[in-house]
Amino acid sequence: MAAARLGAEVEVISALPEGAAARLAMERVEVRNLRKAGEPHALSVALSTRHDRAFVTFDGANAGLEARLLARFSRRLPRARHVHVAMGPRDLQAWAAVLARLRARGVTTSWDFGWHDELPRRRGFRTLLGALDWVFVNEAEARLYTAARTMTVAVARWRGLARNIVVKRGPLGAIVLGAGAAPLRAPAPRVTVVDTTGAGDAFNGGFLAALVRGALVADCLRAGVVLGSLSTRAAGGLDALPPAEEAAAACRWPSATRGAHR
């Protein structure tokens, strides 16, 4: 939804309840729903405090979602300029093969793994990272996936793992690390924070919406920080997202034109 409000043409492939699919359709987001009829959908409860956050999740249809995604991609790759994945993968080698096929078609890719403490120990994780164009992490994840105790060490290790890394730092903004390039930084705007749930995904949407329209990386970073920050003004990840005109103005872009970029 964040990407759509900045003018990107977006399709979501997932296993969704009817209400979520309808909400996305109202936002002009296409949905390819892989949930079977009568199958329970996933449900997460966010437990947020001023200093920390945790989630309790019932997997439901998500337990079989990865296999369905891989089966779908083996039959037909998405028609898009960019493909973003937001999940903790189990079959890393299969995903690396999908990413290689996408790259061969000129499609750029990104991934936000979230927090999965067993992931760095899985075979093929480094190969998967190397196959991606962009990796999104927060500071804790940046240290986890590089087995680093400090961000200084994590930054040094990330440069040998992935082409481009975006580190989301909450109220401190964000950093882009690219191989052989100086870090790019963007500060976060001042907002009254109610709930940070979904802020990382809103950041990703803003960043990627800028990326597919050919913006400079510095502008992508600013768009991500702005959308992520504005999304914290209300509880949940959706209700505080700014409307299209406000989002475009906050990112200092021309008014969003829907359907122009995918």
Element at 134 (helix H, strand E): strand 134-138
| pLDDT at 257 (0 to 100) | 47
| pLDDT at 225 (0 to 100) | 95
| pLDDT at 250 (0 to 100) | 82
Instruction: Enumerate residues 6+ apart whose C-beta is below 8 A from 75.
Output: none
Would residue 161 count as lying in a domain? yes
Mean pLDDT computed over 90-103: 96
Q: How confident is the model at residue 254 (pLDDT cuts 50, 70, 90)?
A: low
Residue 120's CB is within 10 A of a number of other CB atoms, namely: 14
- What is the residue-averaged pLDDT of the chain? 91
Does 12 score more than 70 pLDDT? yes
Would residue 256 count as lying in a domain? no
| pLDDT at 259 (0 to 100) | 44
Mean pLDDT computed over 25-33: 95
Does 70 score more than 70 pLDDT? yes
| pLDDT at 260 (0 to 100) | 47
Does 255 score more than 60 pLDDT? no
Would residue 29 count as lying in a domain? yes
Cα separation of 257 and 45, whole Å? 34
Mean pLDDT computed over 218-244: 90
Would residue 255 count as lying in a domain? no
| pLDDT at 28 (0 to 100) | 92
Does 249 score more than 90 pLDDT? no
Task: Give the range of the structural domain holding residue 184, as residue numbers without chain letter.
Answer: 2-250
| pLDDT at 160 (0 to 100) | 86
Q: What is the CATH number of the domain that holds 229?
A: 3.40.1190.20
Would residue 262 count as lying in a domain? no
Across the beta sheet with 82-86, the strand order is 82-86, 108-112, 134-138, 164-168, 174-178, 184-186
Would residue 261 count as lying in a domain? no
What is the number of domains present in the chain?
1
| pLDDT at 258 (0 to 100) | 45
Find where tokens 């109610």 sit.
194
- Over residues 73-95, the pLDDT tens digits come to 999 998 899 999 999 999 999 99
SS3 track for 37-95? CCCCCCEEEEEECCCCEEEEEECHHHHHHHHHHHHHHHHCCCCCCEEEEECCCCCHHHH
Q: How confident is the model at residue 253 (pLDDT cuts 50, 70, 90)?
A: low
Would residue 257 count as lying in a domain? no
* Residue of 138, 244, 228 whose CA lies nearest to 188: 228
- Over residues 160-181, the pLDDT tens digits come to 899 999 999 999 999 999 866 7
Percentage of residues in the chain having pLDDT higher than 90:
75
Mean pLDDT computed over 119-141: 96
Of 136-140, 147-151, 155-159, 237-241, the range with the lowest mean pLDDT is 237-241
pTM: 0.92
